Structure 1
Amino acid sequence: MKRFLVIVLDGFGIGHMKDAEKVRPQDVGSNTCKHILEKKEKLKLPNLERLGLMNALGEEVSSMKFSSNATFGRAELMHFGADTFYGHQEIMGTNPKMPIKEPFYKAAERVYEALVKEGYKVEYVYGKRGKYLKVNNALTVADNIEADPGQAYNITSALDVIPFEEVLKIGKIVRSKVYVSRVITFGGKNVTIEDILSAEEEKENGYIGINAPKSGVYNEGYNVIHLGYGIDPEVQVPTIMGKAGMKVTLIGKVADIVINDYGKSITGVDTEEVLKVTIDELNKMEEGFICTNVQETDLSGHSENVEAYANKLEIADKYIGEIMEMLKDEDILLVMADHGNDPTIGHSHHTREMVPILVYGKNVNKVELGTRETLSDVGATVAEYFNIISPENGISFLKEIRK
């Protein structure tokens, strides 16, 4: 019996990628890990230090030192930009594909035709320049007005009127006809279609959508699934394992953004809560794969709050230490990130940074894994560990770490 646990410290990068100068010049100079440690000189993360965080960073900072007994490396982002959704798809074995940016009104007609063909009642809702769709008098399909323009479409639904399973079915039809980064299917209870329509907002250049917080869909019975461009769950680790009859548990934000039809998905945001749930699920699981996302580090980066970021790291470090003590002989723990989010860089967005790869287990070799070309090397390693079909992308480093 063996278990593989991945903990993603969301947004905890270790230095800007070389291509940032060309593709994201605003991120040049970013180094989330280093800059937090420099600002918080007394911050001590003993378990991450033991795992080789400073080794992966490549230098000692403040009170944090190199580990002489670590298995570590770093990974570049193969996905464009610096994105939590695509970062986790990449971790699970996807080779990310480049979407386009397009206001929904340009895609509305082909979505309308596809939904009508499937028997749905579809109506246009018009703004000054843009337009969106109302479907079955239960949901809207429109621009996501909170994200960067043209990056995502929202399907905002009243779950007292339509079950979420049907919303997701509609979402998959929409996804098949559009080329933007994400189609986000979500809804809440105790909300009417009138509540949703009354939260309509229109922006420049024909972007029109629903202000989700204003609509009330977050308040009660909220449910969400993100559908990404070029994402095929069939070639990702959770689906491959699930179809093979193996247990997969996703915890935290990863539960919202990675398809896990055959396993268990547990949402959550609070750092202590998601890590306590991780420990509970690890205790219950005799064999299988767990992936946990610690989201509050990323949220602290967005708020440019070094103090909050350091606090969340301290909490995560404590529970990582407890998990290390729980591991059995064949178990493997891997701690990593999905991109950077440097709270000191001068803007509140993700930063295109390399991420640490820190591996621990009683039967793990103490080796340097170098710089991996993609986060998918993690998914490929998980697949080889469980002797299942390899995912779409990535090169396993299992043979390097195994004694």
Structure 2
Amino acid sequence: MFKRIIIIVLDSVGIGALPDAQEYGDEGTNTLVHIATARGRLNVPNLGSLGLGLIDSIAGVAENIIPKACYGKMAEISKGKDTTSGHWEIAGCPVFKPFPVYPEGFPLDVIQLFTKYTGLKVLGNKAASGTEIIFEYGEEHLRTGFPIVYTSADSVFQIAAHEDVIPLKRLYELCTITRTKVCIGQHAVGRIIARPFIGSSGHFVRTPNRHDYSLEPAGETMLDRLKDAGLSVIGVGKIGDIFAHRGLTESHPTKSNQDGMETTTILLNQTEKQKHNSLIMVNLVDFDSLYGHRNDVNGYAAALEQFDENLGQMLPYLKDDDLLIITADHGCDPTANGTDHTREYVPLLAYTPNLAYKNIAGKALGIRTSFADIAATILDNFHLTPLPYGSSFLHDIPG
């Protein structure tokens, strides 16, 4: 049994279109492969040594190797391609009824409820890129004080506001009101997102003070089951927000991928000293929010290479009774038309130093039929009752 399991979710790092991708307008997408091809090569030697290049052919990533980790890819059975459904499925709670989306903006009754409970009119109310909409409505927002409301192809109600016009405390209050009184019933979107920004007209920039207000998972998750069994369940980054802070014993919000990896390394040292069973679940959102949605291929590639460097620094802190799982929650191919998430397989890398200690190569885990296989594996490891979805690959990990 592994004492600690660490899941790192590379937000939006997909690895090829799912068979039903055409239903989402995403046929032919492949976030990792297309980034590497457009860039010429991807320099990720640590991920490569684990077996990333054995999942798919990625320019610059070694394929003729003996992998240090077990490797494969996972299909999503949830309906959708967003952060919430992806993470919930990883935790064993797939989403079979899609969250509502509003490609034409929110209906009048939703906006009227927002105004009724907040006392504020809104600007925008359409599907848009987060950076573009603050440039479009930023000046009017400064003049009127009205928040900018927008959505995307995902099930989100986003509220953008300048931090000097609507202070963070008030912006978070507006989001809480929206979560509890506005986006309810048939309009219960997956997430309400605070999108603060700063700067002057023509020079607006979003700040790291984003905050997500998610629905609670519709069913039990592995986080709930682990916490109820007395394990430490630690969320890093957006994990607390995504699960509505349910099933966690600790939550550590972060400001960036770098901060997320540094926080995880610190937690590895702390939990080692505490000597108890634990799960650390990490979300690294910069790939998605800063690069995927902005079609920034070079920025995305650089972020992957920076993560790989951080991974190399973190790996020595793992013990032989640790299991590291690296995966993603959906795709966001920056070379595709549009700026939205893409319906893709996600990579699966399962690494334990025990393989290296025993000079055992990682093995292929194949194409998994659900992200929930991760939850099944973790519950299997800690000898807990399985959830209805997912198949464990615990006993496919040699050693």
1:85 Cα offset (Å): 2.2
| Bigger shift: residues 342-351 or 7-16 | 342-351
Indicate conservation of the 8 Å contact 2:152/2:340, yes or no: no
Alignment of 1:354 with 2:345, yes or no, is yes
Q: Report how many residues are paired.
A: 354
| 1:3-402 equivalence runs, <5 A | 3-21=4-22, 23-25=23-25, 27-57=26-56, 59=57, 61-62=59-60, 64-69=62-67, 70-96=69-95, 97-101=97-101, 103=106, 105-106=108-109, 144-148=149-153, 151-153=155-157, 171-172=179-180, 177-184=185-192, 224-228=211-215, 231-232=217-218, 235-261=220-246, 262-286=248-272, 287-298=277-288, 299-363=290-354, 366-402=362-398
Q: Deviations over 1:248-294 (max 9, x none)?
A: 11112333212334422222242211111110111111331111112
Q: Secondary structure at the match of 1:4?
A: strand
The secondary structure found in structure 2 opposite 1:300 is helix
Comparing 150-159 with 285-294, greater Cα deviation is found at 150-159
| In 1: Cα distance, 2:193 partner to 2:211 partner | 6
Q: Distance in 2 between matches of 1:223 and 1:43?
A: 29
Which runs of 5 or more structure 1 residues have no equivalent in the other structure? 113-120, 131-141, 189-213
Q: Distance in 1 between matches of 2:295 and 2:280?
A: 30
Q: CA deviation at 1:166?
A: 11
Asked whether the equivalents of residues 363 and 402 of structure 1 are also in contact (C-alpha less than 8 Å), the reply is no
Aligned letter for 1:239?
Answer: D
Structure 2 CA distance for partners of 1:269 and 1:394, relative to 1, 3 Å: farther
Deviation at 1:40, TM superposition (A): 2.8
Q: Which amino acid aligns with 2:296?
A: N
Separation (CA, whole Å) in 2 of partners of 1:73 and 1:250: 24
SS of 2:151's partner is coil
Shift of 1:42: 4.5
TM-score, structure 2 as length reference: 0.75
TM-score (norm. length: structure 1): 0.74
How far does the alpha carbon of each residue in 1:278-329 deviate from its partner, in whole angstroms, 9 at most, with x for none? 1011111133111111212222122212211111111111121222222112
Q: Give the Å deviation of 1:399.
A: 1.7
What's the CA shift for 1:50? 1.0
| Contact kept in structure 1, 2:44 and 2:61, CA below 8 Å | no
CA distance in 2, matches of 1:67, 1:177: 52
Q: 1:36 to 1:92 in 2, by over 3 A?
A: same
Where do 5+ consecutive residues of structure 2 fail to align?
A: 126-146, 197-203
Change (3 A) 1:162 1:107: closer
Deviation digits for residues 20-55 of structure 1, max 9, x if unmatched?
12x123x22211111222233353211100111111
For residues 207 and 41 of structure 2, the distance between their equivalents in structure 1, rounded to whole angstroms, comes to: 39
Partner SS, residue 178 of structure 1: helix
1: CA distance between counterparts of 2:107 and 2:263? 38
CA contact (8 A) 1:71 1:367 kept: yes
